[in-house]
Amino acid sequence: MEILQGRDLSEKVVIITGANSGIGFETAKSLALHGACVILACRNMSRANEAVQRILGEWHKAKVEAMTLDLASLHSVQHFAEAFKSKNVPLHVLICNAAVFAAPWSLTEDDLEATFQVNHLGHFYLVQLLEDTLRRSSPARVVMVSSESHRFSEIKDSSGKLDFSLLSPSKKEFWAMVAYNRSKLCNILFSNELNRHLSPYGVTSNAVHPGNMIYSSIHRNWWVYTLLFTLARPFTKSMAHPIQ
């Protein structure tokens, strides 16, 4: 809210993935309260509609809408992109925010490891599908919400080649924190390449680190993380704290 103070975003159309809670919700609310038309792209429609109502409760004229997007399903991503395009509106800002953290090993319906697909591949596919709309709406921007923890990971194998096991590692090889860190590294590599590819057309891409151990719902997959986030809470940023 502080960063956007005095800005009129009433001409802007924004999509935010995973906007029903946490940092995504705060971002959606701030943009909507400054006039932007904001689409909350969420996997759970009842949580998404609740989030829409919370924003409308703050300003009844806010232009907010929930649409279904499950990043763990390539079919859902495609369906979302088609539904959005059928609205025939521009797209000025696409914020790829949704993520899972410390999620146990599981494969999606596409037979890919879930953390990798939700955090990186689903967003990668979404951007590909919306690229023409972004280009037509330029100046436009993509924001990848990544994490500092990308620094503690590697996506090459010992021979220096891309380690394809990250797509679908066996349960035995899987370590949730490593999968998260790797997905966040993919976010940054993708954002950098996207920026190289699209900035000549007036579409920029940036990756951001929102802050460390912000008390959202992200810790929910393991009680140990919930405890750590609770202990750190007095010393860390709130969800509404600006990204700098």
Ligand X SMILES: NC(=O)c1ccc[n+]([C@@H]2O[C@H](COP(=O)([O-])OP(=O)(O)OC[C@H]3O[C@@H](n4cnc5c(N)ncnc54)[C@H](OP(=O)(O)O)[C@@H]3O)[C@@H](O)[C@H]2O)c1
State the catalytic residues: 180
- Cβ-based neighbour number of residue 231 at 10 Å: 10
Cα–Cα nearest to 142, from 152, 150, 131, 151:
131
Site map 57..86 versus ligand X, x via CB under 6 A: ------------xxxx--------------
- Note whether 21 binds ligand X by CB under 6 A: yes
Shortest spacing between CB 188 and ligand X, in angstroms: 12
Of 35 and 146, nearer to ligand X (C-beta) is 146
Q: Which residue type is seen at 135?
A: R
Shortest spacing between CB 120 and ligand X, in angstroms: 10
Shortest spacing between CB 69 and ligand X, in angstroms: 5
- Note whether 100 binds ligand X by CB under 6 A: yes
Task: Tell the burial category of 23 from Cβ atoms under 10 Å away from its Cβ (0-12, 13-18, 19+).
Answer: buried
Task: Tell the burial category of 149 from Cβ atoms under 10 Å away from its Cβ (0-12, 13-18, 19+).
Answer: middle
Q: Mark 42-76 as b/e (b = at least 16 C-beta within 10 Å).
A: bbeeebbeebbeebeeeeeebbbebbebbbbbbeb
Shortest spacing between CB 46 and ligand X, in angstroms: 10
Site map 1..20 versus ligand X, x via CB under 6 A: ----------------xx-x
Angstrom CA distances, 186 to 4, 62, 124, 175, 192, stand at 29, 34, 9, 17, 10
- Note whether 97 binds ligand X by CB under 6 A: yes
Site map 169..208 versus ligand X, x via CB under 6 A: ----------------------------------------
Shortest spacing between CB 45 and ligand X, in angstroms: 10
- Note whether 121 binds ligand X by CB under 6 A: no
- Note whether 118 binds ligand X by CB under 6 A: yes
Residue from 9, 14, 15, 22 in contact with ligand X (CB under 6 A) = 22
Residue from 30, 181, 205, 216 in contact with ligand X (CB under 6 A) = 216
Please give the Cα distance from 112 to 220 (Å, whole number): 22
What ranges make up the beta strands (E) of 30-158?
37-42, 63-68, 93-96, 140-145
Question: How big is the chain by its Cα radius of gyration, in Å?
Answer: 18
The residue ranges that bind ligand X (CB under 6 A) are 17-18, 20-24, 42-44, 47, 69-72, 97-100, 118, 145, 147, 210, 212-214, 216-218
